[in-house]
Amino acid sequence: MIHIIAFYLFAAMVVASGAFTITARNPVHSVLWLILAFFNAAGLMVLVGAEFIAMLLVIVYVGAVAVLFLFVVMMLDIDFSELRAGFVKNFPLGLSIAIILAAELFIGLVAYSGGKLELGTPDGSAAPLVGESNIENIGALLYTRYLFLFESAGIILLVAMIGAIVLTHRERGNVRGHQNISKQVRRRPDEATYNARPEIGAGVDL
Amino acid sequence: MTAFFESLGMNYEWAWFIATICGILLIALPLMLAVAMIIYVDRKVWAAMALRRGPNVVGPFGLLQSFADGLKVFLQETIIPSAANKGLFLLAPIITFTVALMAWAVIPFSSGAVLADINVGLLYVLAISSLGVYGVVIAGWASNSKYPFFSALRGAAQMISYEVSIGFILICVILYAGGNNLNGIVESQRGFGLGIVNGFFFNLLLFPMWVLFLISGMAETARAPFDLTEAESELVAGYQTEYSSMAFALFWLGEYANVLLMCALNTTLFFGGWLPPLEWAPLYIVPGFIWFLLKTFFFFFVFSWVKATVPRFRYDQLMRLGWKIFLPMSLLFVVLTSGWLMITRYGA
């Protein structure tokens, strides 16, 4: 009973906040609706018993990715009328993407009802460690059967990260603001101050 | 508690529902009281360290000071700036407050005394604490004012930076405990140090992690010396500048509930939670939640001690500490810890 109420609550919230994400006038509101959608999707994951995935969804998407989205969108100065102007021009493209997505959904539904794919059994008896929590099960799969795929995914992410740093890094030679932290820490009051005793009206050289 | 309500003749689902509601109230209401008293303690500690008296007028020894302050803000007028984004402006303090309460659901107060005994407990804490940044960011943006906005940018960058190293520190703890459940983590600390000391801090690999966790916890809750989001000499009051009345009070309560949560996490993860400090039978006469509260209170004292004595960091120093010192160090310790466990616990 509570499960059913919770499912319909989360599902309705995901769909509604997804709709609000694309219809909101203010981009910041849009990002906030997106966050609500992530959050409710995590709720759905908990309901199907995938609590590890749910927590990762919240930590990675809500806690890090969406914060950066919000961070960027907040600082943009967006002209809404200019944004609206491209609507007619981009409408055919958007419509075709929407049709492709709908077709894929439909194909997926048909394939599912056809029952050709055997992905596992809902009672969890196909898990590598039956009766253990799903963190242990995911670990047991990732670090044995899918070890090389997992590591290559990690390497791709590492390369992407280094690439982003290399692309945005600029060598700026004579720019103020370079600090020698250990020098700052080593500094003592008697070497930091001195009594200059300047001539009246002469001032001091800094 | 579910069993008790079932014995009153309810079916399981309703009994569970009502037991959960009761559990939430049993945690949230004493927590609010604790926050009110801890604000008083905080002010008394600062006062003592500055050779002042602190609050001493309202009630005996000034004990009712926080309640007087609460009544004052409750009776104030809520001012919403005309240029503010009204909905989000009011939503921000609610988010901060709610998120600060949510993480308490998995904290074990005593053996088995936990609202949600889930096996992703520590990940849940990490997930919820990563939501805390939204209150600050939304408040800063919705206020439509420059100082709150600066504060929001600082807050977002600061909290994300320190969450990364907190994540790695938690991995070390999880590796030693062999699980994510907070009750399991507490249990695995029983007699951890030479069979006598209860707590993960008694370990050369985990003690440095505890120090990092304590400091990162201060940065994560934007507590002094890392309170750059509300640096009054630069940003007026940071993201709270435009707030008044209950909205402001919600920020305050949320902030202190978060600080208490960090103290409780220090206790649970490194100092044996509700276990007595030493594995010695007479110490078990004192109930577990008393030990838990004592340890948490001790860490709160450390937090206010630091706030009273340490000057505020500069922003670039904060970022340097987070990314160039804490992150490599915690990463190194993840490698060292897993290597050590591989040799000693899972070896051969």
Res A116: pLDDT: 59
3-state secondary structure at position A69 = helix
How many structural domains is chain B composed of? Answer: 1
Q: What's the rounded Cα separation, in Å, for the pair A186 and A192?
A: 10
- Is residue A53 domain-resident? no
pLDDT at residue B50 above 80? yes
**A58–B127: do the CB atoms touch at under 8 Å?**
yes
User: How far is Cα B346 from Cα B15, in angstroms, rounded to an integer?
Assistant: 43
Instruction: Decide if B325 touches A, using CB distance below 8 A.
Output: no
Write down the pLDDT at residue B332. Answer: 93
| Record: contact A63-B163, CB cut-off 8 A | yes
What SS3 class is residue A2?
Answer: helix
**What is the distance in angstroms between the Cα of A121 and the nearest Cα belonging to chain B?**
22
Residue B13 has pLDDT above 70, yes or no: yes
- What radius of gyration, in Å, describes the C-alpha atoms of chain A? 28
State the nearest Cα–Cα gap between A23 and chain B, in angstroms: 17
**CA angle, B312 as apex, B306 and B318 as ends, to 5°?**
105
Whether B31 is in a domain gets the answer no
Suggest the residue from A47, A59, A175 to mutate for an interface test with chain B (most B CBs closer than 10 A): A59
Longest dimension (CA), chain A: 97
Q: What is the pLDDT of residue B227?
A: 83
Confidence of residue A16 (pLDDT cuts 50, 70, 90): very high
Strand partners, B110: B113
Nearest residue on chain B to A65, judged by CA atoms?
Answer: B160
CB contact under 8 A, B118 and A51: yes
Check B119 against A51: CB less than 8 A apart.
Answer: yes
Average pLDDT over residues B47-71: 86
Q: How many beta carbons lie within 10 A of that of residue A65, not counting itself?
A: 13
Q: Are B147 and B238 in contact (CB under 8 A)?
A: yes
CA dist., res. B19 & res. B22, Å (int)? 5
Contact B267, B292 (CB under 8 A): yes
* Residue A156 pLDDT: 96
Q: What is the mean pLDDT of residues B316-345?
A: 89
**B127 close to A (CB below 8 A):** yes
pLDDT surpassing 90 at residue A159: yes
Rounded (10°) CA dihedral B106, B125, B330, B197: -10
User: pLDDT (tens digit, 9 = 90+) per residue, B251-286?
Assistant: 888 889 889 999 999 998 888 888 888 877 777 787
What is the rounded distance in angstroms from the CA atom of residue A162 to the CA atom of residue B345? 35
CB contact under 8 A, B126 and A55: yes
- Residue A122: predicted pLDDT: 59
| Segment B65-81, tens digit of pLDDT | 888 888 888 888 888 88
Interface contact flag, A70 B137, Cβ < 8 Å:
yes
Please enumerate residues of A whose Cβ is less than 8 A from a Cβ of B: 1-2, 26, 28-29, 32, 35, 51-52, 54-56, 58-59, 62-64, 67-68, 70-71, 74-75, 133, 135, 179, 181
**How many Cβ atoms sit within 10 Å of the Cβ of residue B24?**
15
pLDDT digits (tens, 9 = 90+) for A160-195: 999 998 998 877 766 666 677 788 778 888 877 777
Give the confidence band of A80 by pLDDT, cuts at 50, 70, 90: low
What is the spatial distance between Cα A37 and Cα A19, in angstroms, rounded to a whole number? Answer: 10
> Is A57 within the bounds of a domain?
no
Q: Given B124, B137, B149, which is nearest A67 (Cβ)?
A: B137
pTM > 0.90: yes or no: no
Residue of B nearest to A68 (CA): B156
Does ipTM come in above 0.85?
Answer: no
Specify if A139 maps to a domain: yes
Quote the domain boundaries for residue A142: 132-168
- Nearest chain A alpha carbon to B124: A55
Three-state SS string across chain B, please? CHHHHHHCCCCHHHHHHHHHHHHHHHHHHHHHHHHHHHHHHHHHHHHHHCCCCCCCCCCHHHCCHHHHHHHHHHHCCCCCCCCCCHHHHHHHHHHHHHHHHHHHHHCCCECCECCCCCCCHHHHHHHHHHHHHHHHHHHHHHCCCHHHHHHHHHHHHHHHHHHHHHHHHHHHHHHHHCCCCHHHHHHCCCCCECCCECCCCCCCCCHHHHHHHHHHHHHHCCCCCCCHHHCHHHHCCHHHCCCCHHHHHHHHHHHHHHHHHHHHHHHHHHCCCCCCCECCHHHHHCCHHHHHHHHHHHHHHHHHHHHHHCCCCCHHHHHHHHHHHHHHHHHHHHHHHHHHHHHHCCCC
Range(s) of the domain holding residue B275: 76-347
Instruction: Taking residues B87-116, report their average pLDDT.
Output: 86
Using CA atoms, how far apart are residues B19 and B1, in angstroms rounded to an integer? Answer: 6
**Structure token digits, residue A196:** 């200059």
Q: Is residue A151 part of a domain?
A: yes
Q: Please determine, for residue A2, whether its predicted confidence score (pLDDT) is greater than 80.
A: no
Closest among B7, B9, B32, B4 to B19, alpha carbons compared: B4
Tell me whether residue A164 is in a domain: yes
> Which of B12-16, B284-288, B301-305 tops mean pLDDT?
B301-305
In a domain, A147, yes or no: yes
- Do the domain assignments include residue A186? no
The verdict on B52 touching A (C-beta cutoff 8 Å) is no
Q: Is residue A76 part of a domain?
A: no
Confidence of residue B156 (pLDDT cuts 50, 70, 90): confident
Determine the Cα–Cα distance for residues B287 and A94; give it in Å rounded to an integer.
63
pLDDT at residue number B223 = 83
- Chain A: closest CA distance from residue B160 (Å): 7
Asked if the Cβ–Cβ distance from A28 to B88 is below 8 Å, we say: yes
Integer Cα distance of B293 and B276 in angstroms: 11
pLDDT(A101) > 90: yes
**In whole angstroms, what is the distance from residue A80 CA to residue B91 CA?**
24
Look up residue B59 and give its two tokens: 């009630």
Count of domains forming chain A = 1
In a domain, B54, yes or no: no
Mean pLDDT of A78-103: 80
